Copies of this chain bind each other. A is one copy, B any other.
Amino acid sequence: MTVEEFFELSAGKWFSHRTSHHLAFKQAEDGKSEINIETLPADHPEVIKLCQQYEVDPSTATCGARVTWNGTMEWDEEKHEGSTVLVTVPDQDSPDEGKLLREMGYAEKAPVAGRYKIGTDGALTLTTEYETMWSEERLWFASPNLRMRVSVLKRFGGFSMASFTSEIRMGGAPAKAAEAANSVNTPSG
């Protein structure tokens, strides 16, 4: 799988269920949201704009996505709404890894460029370094209708959080909505 194929397969509406394990407290926190992922062509105005913010030549971008979310976390019971744009800029010598530009990092409200790498097993790994934090997220498809994500967060050199997200496709391509809603069945069974 290429990173472009991974983005294509991610397009659509998902029910996203995240559980964070706060390692020092041995406590879990649950969050649920609806996520909408829309792929953007490499020449889309928002892709070009983001490249320019990072001072990256827009012609080197290969794909983009707009991710919109709407949900709640258990502990603060606040509504979390937001959206971001992601853009992949492969390394010159290796199309399977490169820079990942994003409008806004999950944990900090300033633009942060991370790295992506798509493995031979089809899993996508994203790493981001912030000033005092480091995060790594692995995303993969158990089936076209079930996407999974595991992330770890390091603060000041020690792991502080591990999160797991299961995401069920709510309808649209590539599988029929009814199947996805009932039992996360896939065409391949």
Convert A17-60 into 0s and 1s, putting 1 for each residue whose CB lies closer than 8 angstroms to a CB of B.
10101011010101010000000000000000000000000000
Q: Let me know if A62 is at the binding interface, CB within 8 A.
A: no
| Chain A residues proximal to chain B, CB less than 8 Å | 15, 17, 19, 21, 23-24, 26, 28, 30, 32, 119, 121, 142-143, 146, 148, 150, 152, 154, 156-160, 162, 164, 166, 168, 182-185, 189
Copies of this protein chain in the complex: 2
Interface residues of A: mostly helix, strand, loop or mixed? Answer: strand
Partner of A23, one of B28, B156, B184: B184
Closest Cβ of chain B to A127, distance in Å, is 13
Complex CA gap A138/B121 in Å reads 13
CB-nearest residue of chain B relative to A183? B158
Complex CA gap A26/B32 in Å reads 9
